[in-house]
Structure 1
């Protein structure tokens, strides 16, 4: 049972209870309620998700723009290497 709780169950329950009271007092002092915390948490997750999608859209545009130049050059270099470079062991 100690492995599941990370210590003796009564000690872990007491630590969780003390931490819960401290966090509850802190929330009460700041004027927050539990529903506000949950709503803000979900809004924050949504905001982070939106930022990630925006970043990938931004990075994707530049990836494609760069690939339009880099990939054909890479293909030409590889073709010249195969045709005129001989067999080099890497």
Structure 2
């Protein structure tokens, strides 16, 4: 029973979820690479965000909101795709 609840919580069997996450990561990685981003670039952006968080106050809230919206542009469609893809099962 607990195994079934865990599989349900993560969205399917652990192996299938892992494969799906790897494929989605590959797609997002290709897209971000085409945009000229790399992991160190993203880490630098996050570091910059934390620095601005302590120094600019409300301007940082706006910057944080932009990061959230930017991430949502990728995350929400991928989440919807995975939900729609798993709906038929």
| Bigger RCO of structures 1 and 2 (CA < 8 A, at least 6 apart) | 2
TM-score by length of 2: 0.48
